[in-house]
Amino acid sequence: MSERPQLERLCVHESVSTKIPVEAFAEAFAELDVPVDIVDDDEAFDRTDAVASFRPRDAFLDAGWVHCIRAGYDEFDTAAYETEGVPLTNSTGIHDTTVGEIAVGYMVSLARMLHIYRDHQNENHWFEPEYERPFTVENERLCVVGLGTLGRGIAQRADALGMDVVGVRRSDESVPGVAELYHPDDLHEAIADARFVAIAVPHTPETEGMFSTPEFETMRDDAYLINVARGPIADEDALIDALDVGEIAGAGLDVFETEPLPADNPLWDFEEVIISPHRGSATNRYHLDIADLVMEIFDQYQAGEDLRNRVA
């Protein structure tokens, strides 16, 4: 690789507070051998600065390296980073446990009706469901669409619960815990027999609207959609229609086309829809997970090595 100036400072932009505590995040770099500063939009940068941020800023193009603390980097102008020769990295590859757990949590809750019991608890109501409604996830088929970090995390945990896990991916390379693989061209065949369908693909022009009316019509009427990837991958209006007419049984949703989800969105009103506020990765050590990744890439930069998770 061509020579690049050594980094002399790590700047933590205040926008990281959108997802993690900024002070604790900065303190996680205590062992780094350069100063760590919390900066705002008025800060100026040069090629000896590294920046960790949630939001993009034009001024970051003057830095030596920029890290987006989230997996989704679509707000960052990758073409501009390419033009300026500034490496841009993201935080993919660290969400297998956190997102895998919340996806499995949705499935267990939907199967065993934990969300329904909690609703009735709020009304001090002793609720007993119809005998046929609750079921176990064991031996139920889960189709994981996308087998990157998120998908593998979901598949591994579902397999441990005894689920019949199949997956959709372009490569035919086997994946631990996944019994059968389908090509994306065979998506309908893959989801047709699944009790649960989990979306775990990145949001790209190709995947936007990947799930719409034809897919919901293909799914079983007792099937549940899990979306822990990005909201626009599932056509929200089509999903609402499918829930309205009973084409699918319910959903566990952490992501939406518009966030925060507007108060008048019909998704709030479905008993069999579990909504969380895009917090699939949120734990009390998430800032440490990101800091570990940033320090790994920082060391790679200083050593002149290829950067993990480089997207521009």
Under DSSP, is residue 58 helix (H, G, I), strand (E, B) or coil? Answer: helix
- For the question of residue 141 being annotated catalytic, the response is no
Query: Which residue in the list 195, 203, 278, 287 is annotated as catalytic?
Result: 278
180-182 sheet: strands from edge to edge: 180-182, 164-168, 141-145, 196-199, 224-227, 250-253, 273-275
Residue 72 sits at φ, ψ, to 5 deg, of -80, 120
Under DSSP, is residue 60 helix (H, G, I), strand (E, B) or coil? Answer: helix
**Helix H or strand E encompassing 209:** none
Mark residue 265 as left, alpha or beta (left: phi above 0; alpha: psi -120 to 50; beta: remaining): beta
255 CB-near residues (< 8 Å, 6+ apart): 227, 228, 229, 230, 231, 278, 280
The Cα–Cα gap between 92 and 146 comes to 14
In 3D space, the residue among 207, 80, 104 whose CA is nearest the CA of residue 152 turns out to be 104
**In the chain, which residue ranges form alpha helices assigned H by DSSP?**
22-27, 78-84, 96-112, 114-121, 149-160, 187-191, 213-218, 236-245, 286-302
The Cα–Cα gap between 174 and 100 comes to 19
Query: Which residue in the list 230, 236, 247, 287 is annotated as catalytic?
Result: 230
For residue 220, the tally of other CB atoms under 10 A from its CB is 17
Query: Which residue in the list 180, 259, 296, 305 is annotated as catalytic?
Result: 259
The Cα–Cα gap between 135 and 108 comes to 9
- For the question of residue 75 being annotated catalytic, the response is no
The Cα–Cα gap between 153 and 165 comes to 12
Catalytic center residues: 230, 259, 278
